[in-house]
Amino acid sequence: MDGINSLIKKHKIFPAIILGIIPILFLSIFYFYPLLGIFIKSFLSKGLFDFSGFSKVYNSHRIAKIIWFTFYQAGISSILTMMVALPCAFVISNFEFKGKKLIMIIATIPFVLPTIVVAAAFQALLGNNGLINSINIENSLYLIFFAHVFYNFSVVLRITSSFWSYIQREITEAGYMLCATPFQVFYKITLPLLRPALSACFILVFIFCFSSFGVVLILGGPGFSTIEVEIYRQAAHVFNLSVASVLSLIQIVFTFIMMCLYTHFQKKAVKFLPGSQLVFLKKPTSFPEKLMIWSCIIFILIFCFSPIIALIIKSLLFKNTFSLVFYKELFINARNSIFYIPPKAFITNSLIYGVITLVSAIILGVCAGFFVKSLKGKIGGVFDPLFMLPISTSAVTLGFGIIITLDKPPLNLRTSLILVPIAHTLVAFPFVLRSIMPALISIPNSLKNAASLLGASPFISWLCVDLPIIKRSLTVGALFAFTISLGEFGATLFTANPEFSTMPIAIYKFLSQPGIMNYGQAMAVSSILMLVTGCGFFIIENIRNIGHEGF
């Protein structure tokens, strides 16, 4: 016992290990156990091996087409996103100009919007009742492609431009000194250095499009369905849990493989970053350079603002006249429907869930952060990605796994109100962890040692040393958790009781019902949700530490 105590005292890891138990226990109960439930549901029935779900999936021509379509639309969407974003990334990474930070913020707004709002925005812009309805692409593959490119544009732009700008100019200048042409310098020097980052971007966008739910569910209509959408339909509409479980298992396996590839390319890309070296960008002097910059700015403004402006206009336009009737109708139960939920209820529900998620995600993120920091070597390298696993799992799969496993004592939470914030916390707490880890790693051990020598307890040391250093990052993580909770749709659709709907669920219900009033109210709620999440993102951008532009 004395040996153990001396070991603990020597390495000072005991408090961190105690903290680490909290996120490990949370993930074990609410992440790994539900995923295990999906696995068991796929292979077992009443304690016996049952492969009927696999047979139904394998023998179904319709599901085979859905699986093929999921890969196809994700691949095309990813290629289109790269094609659209890379020219802008070239401009952002090579030139310095006024308003650049604002342009980057504007370009990132689509990615922080809830997917249900993105779907509503494109219906407002290009749907049958949209501002531009002459091309008639409602419930078409083109509309899905547009929405996916819009949503993922900033992923490629921010990550690629960040790595591109950090490529050492001495390397490219050496190529010019050896009489290489600009094309040769790009093809022989720049592109090989960029390839890992480009590969990582493509895989990340592919994962987002592969697990797309809200966009395909709303914009695809009955004619298009991905694995994610089919899991929801099989579980919620057809009640075929075995088929839903098999599809979830297929999705889990594939996304895990893709995340491994993403991590591999990300690590290779990081090797090319020159650490803390300053980046000196070129100021435009020639007409072609100024033309490229202005073209980039105009494109980003039009591309990112068009759906958003269309959404706001459609929420204010009634019978070709600007009016607040859709916002007012939210507070009126004109049909005396027993299913009517006043906006005060679903807005309040969203805010309450958001606050609970914020607190839970901060507690889990801080505990996980100190735990990972205290571990060294390969052990720390195992737990860090382990805590990030919920990000690589689709929200629909998480929600489905939760409702089929947490429905029996002692964890009979299927009708519990706490189920929604639990699902939201699963999605949000990895973002808190990623926000605070750089700040935690930057804390020198000498400060902690000095506090201990002055007689400070571990709690006082954390309060006076660690907290002031990580508070900015912690605030960013908290805002991330809150805005993610407000916009979460996939898991909420499974776990929320009808009488405790959230804003994304209300949008989906309005869009699912016919009539101009329902459509207008969907646009109104979407505008409110967009305003709240947009404000949260602007606050994040203004308080977070200056540094890497990636996600």
**Structure confidence by residue, pLDDT tens digits, 440-480:** 777 776 666 666 666 666 667 666 777 777 778 788 888 88
Q: Both tokens of residue 122?
A: 């494109």
Asked if residue 65 is part of any domain, the answer here is: yes
Q: Are the C-beta atoms of residues 156 and 345 closer than 8 Å to each other?
A: no
Provide DSSP, 100-143.
HHHHHHHHHHHHHS-HHHHHHHHHHHHSTTSSS-SS--TTSHHH
Split at pLDDT 50, 70, 90, the class of 298 is very high
- What local confidence, expressed as pLDDT, does residue 169 receive? 57
Per-residue confidence band for 200, with pLDDT thresholds at 50, 70 and 90 = confident
Is the pLDDT at 421 greater than 50? The verdict is: yes
* 25 and 98 inside one domain: no
The angle subtended at Cα 335 by Cα 329 and Cα 339, nearest 5°, is 90
Q: Label residue 146 by pLDDT band (50, 70, 90).
A: very high
Q: How many domains in the chain?
A: 2
Q: Are residues 147 and 172 in the same domain?
A: yes
Residue pair 134/174 in contact by the 8 Å Cβ criterion: no
- For the chain, first and last CA: distance in Å? 45
Model confidence at 4: pLDDT above 50: no
Looking at residue 229, its amino acid is: V
In a domain, 545, yes or no: no
- pLDDT greater at residue 154 or residue 281: 154
Q: Is residue 528 part of a domain?
A: no
C-beta of residue 116 within 8 angstroms of C-beta of residue 507: yes
Could you tell me if 229 and 294 lie in one domain?
Answer: yes
Give a yes or no: residue 544 inside a domain: no
Q: Do residues 165 and 281 lie in contact, with contact meaning Cβ atoms separated by under 8 Å? A: yes
Q: Same domain, yes or no, for 14 and 115? A: no
Over the stretch 55-103, which tens digit does the pLDDT of each residue have? Answer: 888 888 999 999 999 999 999 999 999 999 999 998 888 888 888 888 8
13 and 79 part of one domain: no
- Please check whether residue 507 lies inside any domain of the structure: no
**Burial (0-12, 13-18, 19+ Cβ within 10 Å), 51:** middle
Q: What pLDDT does residue 7 have? A: 42
Helix (H) / strand (E) element for 317: namely strand 317-318
CATH number, position 203: 1.10.3720.10
Which run of H or E residues covers position 11?
helix 2-11
Query: Does residue 114 form part of some domain?
Result: yes
Q: Find out whether 116 and 212 touch, Cβ atoms under 8 Å.
A: no
Instruction: Name the residue with higher pLDDT: 314 or 136.
Output: 314
Residues 234 and 288 occupy one common structural domain: yes
Q: What is residue 357's predicted lDDT score, i.e. its pLDDT?
A: 93
Mean pLDDT of 220-246: 84
| pLDDT (0 to 100) of residue 153 | 92
* Domain termination site, one of 455, 485, 500: 500
Last residue of a domain, one of 316, 334, 358: 316
80-84, 223-227, 340-344 — which is least confidently predicted? 340-344
Report yes or no on 520 lying in a domain: no
Exposure pattern of 168-198 as b/e (b: 16+ CB <10 Å)?
A: eeeebeebeeeebeeeebeeebbeebbebbb
Q: Which pTM does this prediction carry?
A: 0.82
At how many degrees (to 10) do helices 395-405 and 419-442 cross?
130
The reply to whether 82 and 30 lie within a common domain is no
Q: Give 15 or 159, the one with higher predicted confidence.
A: 159
Q: What CA–CA distances, in Å, run from 143 to 121, 158, 207, 264?
A: 11, 24, 19, 32
Give yes or no: residues 276 and 365 share one domain.
no
Same domain? For 41 and 63 the reply is: no
What is the domain range of residue 245? 58-316
Judgement on whether residues 44 and 91 belong to the same structural domain of the protein: no
Does residue 13 or residue 368 have the better pLDDT?
A: 368
Whether 23 contacts 364, CB under 8 Å:
yes
* pLDDT at residue 546 is higher than 60: no
**Domain-located, residue 485:** yes
Long-range CB pairs of 95-98 (<8 Å, 24+ gap) are: 95/281, 95/282, 95/283, 95/284, 95/289, 95/292, 95/293, 96/281, 96/282, 96/283, 97/283, 97/284, 97/293
Residue 1 predicted with pLDDT over 50? no
Mean pLDDT of the chain: 80
Burial class (CB in 10 A: 0-12, 13-18, 19+), 199: middle
Are residues 282 and 371 located together in one domain of the fold? Answer: no
User: Does residue 361 sit in the same domain as residue 429?
Assistant: yes
Helix (H) or strand (E) holding 9: helix 2-11
